[in-house]
Chain A
Amino acid sequence: MLARPHTVLAGGTDFYPARVGQTIDEDVLDIGGIGVLRGISAGVAGWRLGATTTWTDLLRADDLPPLFDGLKQAAREIGGRQIQNAGTLAGNLCNASPAADGVPGLLALDAEVELASAAGSRRLPLSDFITGNRRTALTPGELLVAIHIAKPAHHARSGFLKLGARRYLVISIAMAAATLEIADDEDGSRVVAARIAVGACSAVARRLPALEAALAGATLDHHLAERVDPAHLAPLSPIDDVRGSAAYRSDAVFTLLRRLLLGFVP
């Protein structure tokens, strides 16, 4: 079966909308019922999120540390409850939409994906997995089976902000995710490391390394937002579309990033 061209079906929340009014006559591999692909487990090195873990599964995982708060905030913004109950984390990655709400948060968690095939398995950083608008590094016969997130060296928190033109069920105009590793010393809290990602402003969500560097060592106070500089947005290449203009996206991301960072300040 895996040798033939096929489409993988999990939660169905991207599969069916792409086939409205069409008879489905392609080969489909339904992985929805494979129990080992679903669920969240913690190990010494970090966490494994099974491919078919749903957004609701994530939201109900009470034992996850604050590192996952940002991803959970993203989960709450994905479609309505119906979509959160059915849609899977891996599906969001494999669909590879530029506006995928799960991607910036996972980029900011430095997530890796585990790909398996009859030939064996391999791991890729998420940033190498999504290669373009609706394109991934999956080879024929390969399946994304899990997402791995390493334990950060320091205490870490994360956050997520989404901008849309309505409250629910909305495709993002722009979104931003941040993970900050934080260490306390006698002067207060300090950012040891930062991982920042922006979605819907380029064909693939992008990390912002210059901003991350600018944040390293910063004191966690209300001046944190002042470290955001428009030049940090250089990796982005927003477009004009029905949801907003390119110039607006750049402008809005600047605001989102500042607000996102202020959200970390006690």
Chain B
Amino acid sequence: MKVAFTLNGGAADWTGPPVTRLAAALRDDLGLTGTKIGCDAGDCGACTVLLDGQQVCSCLVAMGQVEGRRVETVESLAQPDGALTVLQKSFLVHGAAQCGICTPGMLMAAQDLLRRTDRPSRAEVEDALGGVLCRCTGYGKIVDAVLAATAAQAPDMAPAPGAAIGARMPRVDGHAKVTGRDLFGADAVPADALWIRVVRSPHAHARFTLGDLAPLRQRLAAVLTAADVPFNGFGIYPEIKDQPVLADGLIRYGGEAVVALVGDRATVLAIRDREVPIVWTPEPPLFGIDAATAPDAPLVQADRPKNLLLDGGVRHGDPAEAFARSAAVAEGVFETAFVEHAYIEPEAGWAQRVGDRIEIHATTQTPYMDRDEIANVMRLRPEAVRVVPTACGGGFGGKLDLSVQPLIAIAAWKLGRPVALVYTRPESMVATTKRHPARIMAKFGCDAEGKLLACDVTATFDTGAYASWGPTVANRVPVHAMGPYAVANVRSWGEAFFTNGPPAGAFRGFGVPQAAIAHEAMMDALADKLSIDRLEFRHRNALRVGDTTATGQTLVHSAGLAQCLEALRPHWQKAHREVAAFNAKGAPRRRGVGIGCMWYGIGNTSMSNPSHMRVGLSPAGSLTLYSGAVDIGQGSNTIMVQIAADALGLPASQFALVAGDTDLTADAGKTSASRQTFVSGKAAELAGRDLRLQILRLANAGESATLSLEGATLKVRDGGTVRSLALATVGPLIGEGTFDPPTTPLDANGQGVPYATYAFAAQIATVEVDTELGTVKVLRMVAAHDVGKAINPTLVEGQIEGGIAQGLGLALMEKYLPGHTENLHDYLIPTIGDVPQIECLLIEDREPLGPSGAKGVGEPGLVPTAPAILGAVHHATGVRATRVPLLPHRLREAIVALKGNVG
């Protein structure tokens, strides 16, 4: 069918089957990849465009219905010269785009609204944007950006030379994100690429045999099976390569990859699973910790006795003796579910063979680990693998494991043609890692004055079918399980067991959010027992500089929890007064206030995790930061430039950035563990300083000299003298910096220095519980975070607000159930109407090791949120949630049970 329509103001012709989705036609046939596909089911709104001026999901529009109509996409907004609309500029200035994958959809939904309403209210903005999901921002900055888009143009936000650190500088990659030009994993696939469709197991546990694949092979370029994978095992840890790229006769979780069909795109996508000859012998699956630890449990991995991945803990002091002399003791058991990352960009990428090297362009959080892992799977040298990260549409830990990479690499290597693989949303959900379900048994004791004396925590994790980041979770949690408090007598234990669940991996916080639910419930319980205010109880016990942690590490700098609590205290008292006044009315809706605290070790646990950064100044005068740190939306591209700029002494606006490409950058480690600002930022600072010192030496100038770059001439002003360096004659200059945070291994009792520094935070939640329906509405959050130094306050707030949104989801709605919630309408993440207004209080207790005193903030935003919300629900209703998510039916049942007990 031929379809003639108006596209972004011009005439467009398109020919194809009329049931083709508009989103697919725009992206695949008309070259407009600014429209993103997050689900193909109308659940996420990323593909929102305007059809005859009304917002629609372009994934739900048949091309046959577009005839004669008007389509507007994100590409229509900016001028051809790149000049932004007021709305786009407002998104930039407010930090409304983080990863940017939802940004085109948000912009088009807002455009629809602003054409109808000059000055919309907050509620109108929420109604208009309610159909677009964002997983990064927590929505607040998006709403602010739309509300402000009717105002006069914002001033230019470029910071002055030497003043980049601390400035609310717009993201350096922001222009591309608000214009739809940023290229994500699925956006720049070569036209001649072959495609892969992966055939996955419908069973969680099964044996299988493959039938005759020859007929399929005749229709396709290749049909890959386990036999085609040179080394069929991958995994995060060098000694645990337990996950096959393609299963070899045995399925350990539902959705595991079995066969990869490679061929022309339309052909591979048209082949149904039933056409692939696989003979299944299903076996009973092992689900949950209890099944995995039963005495007669079958083994998920034959060489893993008792299904145990690993265990270990921290022992300090004499908990038994301390419990015996405690004036108050609290105990509880808390359980959490699998949680899905639900980044709006499904995994995607393509690979091509270049001579005797393989090149992978894919969405990832960790190009260097990918490079080494792909080399290992393919039995190539790491130097033979080049990883070029595309823009990453959200990661949160879920893009630290390989997904599409090994299959596209193997196929492209074999076939000598580019090969692409783009996961569907259900595929992304079934195939990739999840947050570890946990059972946390906690017992805390304190003296009569409320000083903590003892802590005993056992954290048991369901690590799913393969190890992934399970060891990291099981190691990190015992260090953090007592919470951010000084406790002299500690026993904490972490253990992880294999099951036939999806592999549980890294997810923002590595198990610490689960543990925080337990330790914060214990703080509330002890405070209540002693009739001490919950905030004051925490303030009394907060770890401070000079305190020694349970691992025997004395904190010598930057432990700002007490300052966070002091900043929150007036908000806490005000919230209590307001809640009491509301509840005095006696309505079925009751309000409550809760508080959660956390600490978080920045970087790897007791393991080296260095970053290397380079700043280059070319003979032509181009200044480039070569950063191996991948920006997954959190803003490290901007942070690194800000830090390097001030260290060098030139304006951030003069920097070009080369990021992530393993051929062009040095290894800056992975984007995880809240480490990029602290570790890579320090390396960027050292690199900038190194280049500065080289320049000062060349100019024979002193440390206080100022630099200016004018074309190919570098001017160095030192007191009254100005020296001009002609860069063409000086030759290329490269500043280098390396930083590896100082840690020591933990001994058998968990004693040592696991992290060089810790972030601290406390958050207050105010909630309203509908006691008759069991629903919880979070009305307000106030978050105080000790970040050391906020390099870019807008980006820091963005991390906190986005973390809070995910913490809210963890507390109230997110539960991944294999086989049941494998899409974004059965698996619920917070929408724009669920995340309350958030006030961020930035505490800057400087960490001398960090760049300008900065620490990390990526994960800390999420950790205290669920405890604060659950504490507030308890305050409102008397119900202490022991299982999350606290779905309406669970809360209502608990309220009824509590009333029964009381009555």
Q: Taking beta carbons and an 8 Å cutoff, which residues of A are in contact with B? A: 9, 11-13, 15-17, 20-25, 28, 30, 32-33, 56, 76, 79-83, 85-86, 163, 165-171, 173, 242-245, 247-249, 251-252, 255-256
Q: Is the CB of A165 within 8 A of B112?
A: no
Cβ-neighbour of B130 out of A22, A168, A251 (below 8 A): A168
Task: Given A23-B270, A248-B888, verify A167-B131 contact (CB < 8 Å).
Answer: no
Which residue of A has the minimal Cβ distance to B824?
A169
Chain B interface size, under 10 / 10 to 19 / 20 to 34 / 35 or more: 35 or more
B427 located at the interface, meaning its Cβ lies under 8 Å from any Cβ of chain A in the complex: yes
Could you tell me if B828 and A30 are in contact, using CB atoms closer than 8 angstroms?
no
Name 5 A/B residue pairs within 8 A (Cβ), A-sorted: A16-B40, A21-B269, A79-B131, A81-B109, A251-B896
Q: Are B41 and A17 in contact (CB under 8 A)?
A: yes
Contact A166 B60 (CB under 8 A): no
- Apart from A166-B831, A169-B133, what 11 extra A-B contacts exist at CB < 8 Å? A15-B60, A17-B43, A23-B270, A81-B131, A82-B48, A169-B43, A242-B815, A247-B889, A248-B774, A251-B892, A252-B892
Q: Which of B61-69, B649-657, B791-799 contacts A (4 or more CB under 8 A)?
A: B61-69
Question: Once the chains are docked, how many angstroms separate the CA of A146 from the CA of B256?
Answer: 46
Cβ of B542 within 8 Å of any chain A Cβ, yes or no, is: no
Cα A16 to Cα B42 in complex, Å, equals 8
Chain B 111-147 against A: per-residue CB contact (8 Å), 1 yes, 0 no? 0100000000000001110111100000000000000
- Look across to chain A and name the residue whose beta carbon is closest to the beta carbon of B112: A81
Distance in angstroms from A79 CB to nearest chain B CB is 6
Name the contact of B18 in the complex, choosing from A16, A30, A171, A256 (C-beta under 8 A). Answer: A30
List, in ascending order, chain B residues with CB within 8 A of A169's CB. Answer: 43, 130-131, 133, 825, 831
* Complex CA distance for A17 and B822, rounded to whole angstroms: 12
Q: Does B313 contact A (CB under 8 A)?
A: no
B62 touches A79 (CB 8 A): no
- Using Cβ atoms and an 8 Å threshold, which residues of chain B touch A15? 60
Q: Quick check: B54 and A252 within 8 Å, CB to CB?
A: no
A244 to B349, CA, bound (A): 38
Tell me if B888 and A168 are in contact (CB < 8 A). no
Residues of A within 8 A of B132 (CB): 80
Q: Are B830 and A21 in contact (CB under 8 A)?
A: no
Q: Is B426's beta carbon under 8 Å from chain A?
A: yes
Q: Is B893 an interface residue (CB 8 A)?
A: yes
User: Shortest Cβ distance from B586 into chain A, in angstroms?
Assistant: 15
Contact in complex: B833, A167 (CB < 8 Å): yes
Q: Complex Cα distance A251/B424, Å?
A: 38
Decide if B39 is an interface residue (CB 8 Å cutoff).
yes
B477 at the interface (CB under 8 A from A): no
* Most chain B CB within a 10 A radius of its CB, from A22, A165, A242: A165
What is the bound-complex CA distance between A255 and B771, given in angstroms?
10
Q: Is the CB of A81 within 8 A of B128?
A: yes
Chain A residues whose C-beta falls within 8 Å of the C-beta of B425 in the assembled complex: 20
Check: B56 CB closer than 8 A to any chain A CB. Answer: yes
- CB of A82 within 8 A of CB of B42, answer yes
The interface residues of chain B lying within 8 Å CB-to-CB of A168 are 126, 130-131, 831-834
Give the docked Cα–Cα distance between A251 and B891 (Å): 12
Task: Determine whether B813 belongs to the interface, using a CB cutoff of 8 Å to chain A.
Answer: yes
Beyond A82-B131, A168-B131, is A244–B887 a contact (Cβ under 8 Å)? yes
- Closest 3 A/B residue pairs (Cβ): A80-B131, A167-B833, A248-B889
A28 contacts across to B, CB distance below 8 A: 18-19
Chain B CB within 10 A, most for which of A81, A242, A249: A81
Interface flags for B40-57 (1: CB within 8 Å of A; 0: not) read 111101001001001111
| Known interface pairs A24-B19, A86-B56; A170-B892 also in contact (CB < 8 Å) | no
Specify which chain B residues have a CB less than 8 angstroms from the CB of A243 in the assembled complex. 887
Find chain B residues with CB under 8 A from A9 CB: 19, 62
Residues of B within 8 A of A22 (CB): 269, 272
- In the complex formed, the residue of A with least CB distance to B130 is A168
Interface residue from B40, B41, B127, B775 paired with A81 (Cβ < 8 Å): B127
- Does the CB pair B57–A252 fall under 8 Å? no
B57 touches A83 (CB 8 A): yes
B576 at the interface (CB under 8 A from A): no
Indicate whether B817 reaches chain A with its CB closer than 8 angstroms. yes
B62 touches A163 (CB 8 A): no
Pair A21/B426 contact, Cβ less than 8 Å? yes
A23-B270, A167-B130 are known contacts. Are A82 and B57 too (CB-CB below 8 A)? yes
For the complex, is B191 an interface residue (Cβ under 8 Å from A)? no
Cβ of B449 under 8 Å from chain A: no
From A23, A163, A242, A255, give the contact of B821 (CB < 8 A). Answer: A242
Q: Mark contacts of B638-649 with chain A using CB atoms, 8 A cut-off: 1 yes-contact digit, 0 otherwise.
A: 000000000000
Tell me the bound Cα distance from A56 to B817 in angstroms.
34
Q: Is the CB of A85 within 8 A of B54?
A: yes
Q: Please state if A242 and B826 are interface contacts (CB–CB under 8 Å).
A: yes
Asked if residues A167 and B65 are in contact (CB atoms below 8 Å), the reply is no
Question: B512 near A: Cβ within 8 Å?
Answer: no
A178 and B527 alpha carbons, distance in the complex (Å): 47
A166-B828, A168-B131 given; A80·B45 CB < 8 A: yes
Q: Contacts A9-B19, A12-B62, A242-B826; is A166 near B887 (CB within 8 Å)? A: no
Q: Is B820 an interface residue (CB 8 A)?
A: yes
Collect the chain A residues with CB atoms within 8 Å of residue B21's CB. Answer: 16
Given A21-B40, A23-B270, A168-B831, is A242 in contact with B130 using a C-beta cutoff of 8 Å? no
